Amino acid sequence: MVERGALPSHEVRSLETEALVDTGARYVSLPASEIARLGLRYVKSKKARTAAGLVEQRLFSPVRVTVQERDGISEVAELPEGSPALLGQLPLEQMDFWVDMANQKLAGNPEHGGQWMIDMF
């Protein structure tokens, strides 16, 4: 809405948080209280496979995510209260990150020399 001029930039809600990188998750995932704080709109529910079995996963309107000066757009999946925020596979791929398991950190995709690049094929 800011881009369309409908909302002044100082009124945009934001959240700065630490998130666990979870390549088994698809989206950005946040506890319900953080979703409410951001004022995100419920979009739909989908079946999700979890360690606890099949559950109904609630998805909310997309957010812009920024990590290490790279950004992308992701729907937000709701987590139970007390759960840590998760950064899933789709936003990681969109921001062209590679998970360096040995050093437990995010790195730029080595196929692109670490530079942020978009594959178009």
The string of pLDDT tens digits covering residues 6-45 is 778 778 888 999 999 999 999 999 999 999 999 999 999 9
Contact 64, 85 (CB under 8 A): no
CATH 2.40.70.10, applies to 9-95: yes
pLDDT tens for residues 71-117? 999 999 999 999 999 999 999 999 999 999 999 999 999 989 999 99
- DSSP reduced 3-state for 46: strand
Q: Do the Cβ atoms of 57 and 45 come closer than 8 Å?
A: yes
